[in-house]
Amino acid sequence: MPKKYDSSDIQVLEGLEAVRVRPGMYVGSTGSRGLHYLLWEIVDNAIDEACNGYADRITVTLHADGSASVEDNGRGLPVDPHPQLGVSGLEVIFTKLHAGGKFNHEQYQYSGGLHGVGASVVNALSRWLQADVYLDGSHYRMRFESAYNPATQKTDAGKPVTPLVRVSGTRQRGTTVRFLPDDTIFEDCRFQSEQVRRRLRDLAYLNKGLRVAFVDETASDPEQRESVYLYDGGIADLVADLNRDKTTTHPHPIVFDEVNQGVRMSVAIQYTDGYTENLFSYVNNIPTGEGGSHEAGFRAGFTKAFNEYARKIGALKDKDPNLSGEDTREGITACLSVYVPNPQFEGQTKSRLGNTEVRPIIEAMIFGKMSAYLEDLKNAEVALAIVEKAARAAKVRDAARKARDLARQKNQLEAAPLVGKLASCTGRRAEENELLIVEGDSAGGSAKQGRDRRFQAILPLRGKPLNVERKQLDKVLGNEEFRSLITALGAGVGEDFQTAALKYHRVIILSDADQDGAHIRAILLTFFFRYMRPLVARGHVYIGLPPLYRVQRGSTTRYAYDDTELRRLTNASGRDYTIQRYKGLGEMNPEQLWETTMNPKNRKLLQVTLDDAADAERMVSLLMGDRVDPRREFIIRHANFNREDSFEKFV
């Protein structure tokens, strides 16, 4: 008999309780990304004070007790009673969802936060949170805690445990928020210092003249405990930093600033002698890794300005076709920072701007500014060098297009590179299928025999693929291994890449656990980053982690994935055991490979993400580029040659 279902079964979640029940709805996940999202929400509130002209200093501290604090010298959060709710504005901000001063534009013209959700969500998902406000000559404090309530048998989320109190008088102004993430909510409550450091550095670049300090009380190295970021050049300094290890076409970035119809735009552009486009965009200080209407407007206005200028100076004749966007942006490194009054971000992680009205505004501003720059006689030498570079790019474009079409068309010629290579799966649901890229025919044979052919396809690589860094697309497509990979994925390449056309939603790199395997991984990741970036940005790329050792004691077999696990297994096994060190996947028989590396129930996968595209650009250029000295310096500074896995952490 079916269980009775009536109104008493309907659960009403009030206040912040709903946040603790479904944290993923508010911060994306309960993993590292969600943990750091808490910090970014408080940081964003401080940055909003700065970008609206109310603050010029921010300090972020990771404390030894696991808490984090964000201090700014802005106006200070309001502490006067709320006219409708009768409690202080500070209490409203930290205890009420969808409450804040950012819904209209009287206090904040531009905002990157969650419009009132952010601060209260941080409070709800913390063990405790303390807010100190320095306002009108007084220091105020309020503390909130989440604790189990025996009477209701529930956790009271973010409840005030002290009233708003005036601590003392002060000349200081601003707000300090300190919170301890709840370890019953998050899988790991340790903030990653380098991730925080990178984000703060980029925020300092995006906010010219803003002093951003980072204090890490958890750092073992005293020199790493405090850093200060202050860039008077703003995003121009960011572009120069990204091109530090590259050969540039002109010495200083081209910089544009303009405001039109409430949209504020800052752009910095510098060309290199490379062949790929690197555009990093932000909206209200939020990185937009998947682009959006602002990037579309930038590209359209940029291409239009170049074509008009090229025809004006005779570089393009009447009979000549226009330069493509790819031609005009070959080798470009650019940062586009846009401030929009009412941004509409697509997706939980705010990675794409959806405001359609922004595109024509940005397009008009870029076209006007770029046209004026190109036509200014002071810039004639740089303008000519850029146009000549675009013209050279156009000459190889036809060859690249033919190769790209060859990789895209579904005909016999396209399928030829895959004959005898790809072992496809029988499943037709791309979201359930995965492509495993393995190293060599031996590993390929084991993987093909050991796989679950319903959803696993195998593509063996024969030899080491081409390092695509600083290679034009026609050279990349001339490489047989990459042609096979492009064909297998079925989603195109370069600007033609379409995530929706993917045949496999998990692309897993399975290479040997040695330096050659690590190098192959690095080459493949460089290819995906340069020519299929959405594949990485949307979380489709994974690294398979095969075991390093097989430990056998009698009829019992265990596998160790690192030296620490090996020591644990051998200590538990006593003396009567044997160890096999795997030098490659090809040494495993199909059953072992399935059990350890391919079976979704047992395997270990590392998802490749793109949390910081600018930092990824720095590392790819440094490690995979053709300038030897910076790479040597990096290796000498960071590598521990006494550890077998020292190379692994860089790839």
- Judge whether 148 and 157 are in contact, CB under 8 Å: no
188 is catalytic: no
| Contact (Cβ atoms closer than 8 angstroms) between residue 105 and residue 120 | no
The arrangement of strands across the sheet holding 549-553 comes to 556-560, 549-553, 578-581
- Which of 512, 595, 612, 615 is catalytic? The answer is 512
Would you call 145 a catalytic residue per the annotation?
no
Cβ neighbour number for residue 573 with a 10 Å cutoff: 17
Closest CA relative to residue 497, chosen from 518, 476, 480, 481 = 476
Of the residues 145, 216, 439, 595, only one is catalytic, namely 439
Three-class secondary structure of residue 143 per DSSP: strand
Supply the pLDDT for residue 48: 87
| Phi, psi (degrees; rounded to nearest 5) at 256 | -125, 140
Q: What pLDDT shows up at residue 225?
A: 93
Q: What is the pTM of this model?
A: 0.77
Helix (H) or strand (E) holding 414: helix 412-415
Beta-carbon contacts of 10 under 8 Å, excluding residues fewer than 6 positions away, are none
Catalytic (active site) residue 576 = no
3-state SS, one letter per residue, for 160-183: ECCCCEEEEECCCCEEEEEEEECC
What pLDDT, on a 0 to 100 scale, did the predictor assign at position 399?
Answer: 66
pLDDT of residue 298: 97
Q: Mark whether 595 is an active-site residue.
A: no
Predicted confidence at residue 401, as pLDDT, reads: 66
Q: Alpha carbon 561 to chain centroid distance?
A: 27
Degrees (nearest 5) of the Cα angle 500, 504, 508?
130
Distance, in Å, from the CA atom of 274 to the CA atom of 249, rounded to the nearest integer, reads 10
pLDDT at 74: 93
pLDDT value of residue 643: 45
What pLDDT does 116 receive?
A: 40
User: pLDDT value at position 132?
Assistant: 96
Sign of torsion over alpha carbons 321, 324, 329, 331: negative
Q: Report the alpha-carbon distance of residue 461 to residue 436 in Å, rounded.
A: 11
- CB-CB contact of 459 with 436 (8 Å): yes
Cβ proximity of 243 and 271 under 8 Å: no
Spans of the chain below 70 pLDDT: 1-15, 98-117, 347-350, 398-420, 638-651
- Which conformational region is residue 464 in: left (phi greater than 0), alpha (psi within -120 to 50 degrees), or beta? beta
DSSP string, 20-55: HHSTHHHHS-SSHHHHHHHHHHHHHHHHHHHHTTS-
Task: Point out the catalytic residue in the list 514, 562, 611, 644.
Answer: 514
Q: Which domains does the chain show, CATH number per domain? A: 17-229 (3.30.565.10), 235-397 (3.30.230.10), 409-546+605-650 (3.40.50.670)
Q: Which of 80, 188, 432, 516 is catalytic?
A: 516
Tell me, what's the pLDDT at 25? Answer: 78
